[in-house]
DNA sequence: GCCGTTCCCTAACAAGTGTTTGGTAGGTTA
DNA sequence: TAACCTACCAAACACTTGTTAGGGAACGGC
């Protein structure tokens, strides 16, 4: 029990990520507005004012949480979209990638689900609206391509189908818990099976 | 006993419903915690303090909005469940009824989606947890019955299927706008078609 | 006429909010 | 040793929040 050497207890960027992680956890659980900075500080084992050594506002924490999540999301999406797959394979890859992102950024996804709608109106969070537009273009475009190529049904309202697929995937963040007995890939597989083939038994 | 008078410009219960409707609209748009009672009063054309003539707290408004919605929901659900339909027909009826409720109580449903999770822990809103348990019992039970009777697939995780169906239906409240060119029944029909048969073209 | 009720306003309150300022323990560097 | 930097604390600030108390205008019933 000698003096353990901890010259720099936690290097700056590391500590930053830790604090953002706990903040995201609280935001996701209580909602952004319902969360006080005192609560976040408490969870992090420090006082409210101390947070302002690392961040310059509560809003900037939210900003950093959401933007880093979206950056990583689009990194994965762009890779899929650039692969030149067929419509069905693209949808499968996008869904799988989405569940991986939920697995990695569950709190951020939950926050995004709850708050993005009314945040997107603020200038600071305009990138949320941009991302959503890009998102719709990618998914809706793939679905339309699938219809014209004859791999998806053409008797459905395509925008309804888009919202259906989009929502079924992303609401999963509200109940998903990492470390459960379903891997993201397994959940994606079953979800794709339901979305593509339905839950009714084929006769 | 006699002399029932209704000379007022707006009879009390009517005004109450009006205020609750505008409150629900604001709650749904901004989130409960982000909504100030001054904002609600503003939207209703009066001052903040005046709301307290009709309601005794902001929380009681939320309470009344959610409980009246759930009452109406279960009135419809119980009717369906008592009809003694087969599993597939029960699911179809529940989905259709759900979209009708979204049509009638869009703001309440949106609020429920966003807030119920952390509200259910408070004693005052314990009925939310009760309702959710009853809800799961009805839907999950119907799905299980469908599997044993051979109308639904048996190669899927049944709880995953439950959450899939449940979420696909209720998140629709986040984008649904009454008066659009799709009636609740039409949306229900297409959703059921997707959930039951899938979006892939059968070959 | 007066009375009572309904419904809202004015003006304030106390508690809680995000944020700032100045300070300081403890390690690193010169 | 002294100067310096990091990461936090202590205490306050200005502001917003939900809520309350008293008052008053409009109106129907008597």
pLDDT in tens, B172-185: 999 999 888 899 99
A121 touches chain B (CB under 8 A): no
Average pLDDT over residues A91-104: 96
B26 touches chain A (CB under 8 A): no
pLDDT of residue A66: 97
Instruction: Return all residues near A106 (Cβ < 8 A) that are at least 6 apart.
Output: A28, A173, A176, A177, A178
Q: What is the pLDDT of residues A167-181, one digit of tens each?
A: 989 999 989 998 888
Average pLDDT over residues A73-101: 97
Which chain B residues touch A161 with a CB distance below 8 Å? 194, 199
Exposure string over A63-100, b if 16+ CB within 10 A, otherwise e: bbbbeebbeebbebbeebbeeeeebbebbbbbbbbbbb
| CB-nearest partner of A152 from B151, B190, B200 | B200
Domain A57-197 has CATH 1.10.357.10: yes
Which chain A residues touch B174 with a CB distance below 8 Å? 117, 167
What φ, ψ does residue B200 adopt, rounded to 5°?
-80, 145
Place A129 in a pLDDT band, splitting at 50, 70 and 90: very high
What are the start and end residues of each CATH 1.10.10.60 domain in chain A? 9-56
B193 touches chain A (CB under 8 A): yes
CATH fold, domain A9-56, is Arc Repressor Mutant, subunit A (1.10.10)
Average pLDDT over residues A77-87: 96
CB contact under 8 A, B152 and A196: no
Q: Is the pLDDT of residue A1 over 70?
A: no
Q: What is the pLDDT of residues A142-164, one digit of tens each?
A: 999 999 999 999 999 999 999 99
What are the start and end residues of each CATH 1.10.357.10 domain in chain A? 57-197
What are the start and end residues of each CATH 1.10.10.60 domain in chain B? 10-56
Minimal-distance CA residue of chain A relative to B147: A201
Q: Which nucleotides of C are covered by protein (CB under 7 A)?
A: 6-12, 16-22, 27-28
pLDDT of residue A10: 52
CB contact under 8 A, A33 and B31: yes
Considering only A106-110, B2-6, B190-194, which range has the smallest mean pLDDT? B2-6
Which chain B residues touch A187 with a CB distance below 8 Å? 160
A159 touches chain B (CB under 8 A): no
Minimal-distance CA residue of chain B relative to A113: B114
What φ, ψ does residue B134 adopt, rounded to 5°?
-60, -40
Interface test with A, best of B201, B202, B203 (most A CBs within 10 A): B201
CA dist list (Å): A202 to A188, A199, B91, B198: 21, 9, 17, 11
Higher pLDDT, A180 or A104: A104
Place A7 in a pLDDT band, splitting at 50, 70 and 90: very low
Q: Does residue B40 reach within 7 angstroms of strand D, measured from its CB?
A: no
CB contact under 8 A, B156 and A201: no
Mean pLDDT of chain B: 91
Question: Angle at which helices A158-170 and A87-104 pack, to 10 degrees?
Answer: 30
pLDDT of residue A44: 92
Nucleotide nearest to B47 (CA to C1'): C9
CB contact under 8 A, B168 and A172: no
Q: What is the pLDDT of residues B123-173, one digit of tens each?
A: 999 999 999 999 999 999 999 999 999 999 999 999 999 999 999 899 999
Q: What is the DSSP letter of A80?
A: H
Tokens 């818990």 label which residue? A177
Which chain A residues touch B144 with a CB distance below 8 Å? none
On the 0-12 / 13-18 / 19+ scale of CB atoms within 10 A, A29 is middle
Tokens 């925008």 label which residue? A159
Domain B10-56 has CATH 3.90.25.10: no
CA dist list (Å): B79 to A51, B105, B128, B132: 54, 18, 20, 18
The residues pairing with A200 across neighbouring beta strands, listed in sequence order, are B152
| Gap between the Cα atoms of B199 and A55, Å rounded | 46
């Amino acid at each position: 029990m000698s003096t353990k050497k901890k010259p720099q207890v936690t290097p700056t960027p590391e500590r930053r990520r830790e604090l953002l992680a706990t903040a995201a956890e609280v935001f996701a659980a209580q909602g952004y507005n319902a969360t006080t900075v005192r609560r976040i500080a408490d969870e992090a084992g420090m006082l409210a004012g101390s947070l302002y050594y690392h961040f310059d506002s509560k809003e900037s924490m939210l900003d950093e949480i959401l933007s880093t999540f979206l950056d990583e999301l689009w990194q994965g999406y762009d890779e899929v979209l650039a692969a030149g797959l067929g419509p069905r394979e693209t949808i499968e890859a996008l869904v799988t990638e989405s569940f991986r992102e939920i697995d990695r950024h569950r709190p951020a996804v939950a926050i995004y689900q709850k708050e993005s709608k009314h945040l997107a109106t603020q200038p600071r969070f305009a990138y949320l609206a941009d991302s959503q537009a890009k998102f719709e273009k990618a998914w809706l475009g793939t679905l339309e391509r699938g219809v014209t190529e004859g791999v998806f049904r053409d008797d459905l309202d395509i925008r309804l189908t888009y919202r259906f697929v989009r929502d079924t995937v992303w609401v999963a963040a509200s109940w998903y818990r990492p470390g459960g007995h379903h891997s993201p890939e397994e959940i994606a597989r079953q979800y794709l099976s339901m979305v593509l083939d339905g839950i009714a038994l084929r006769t």
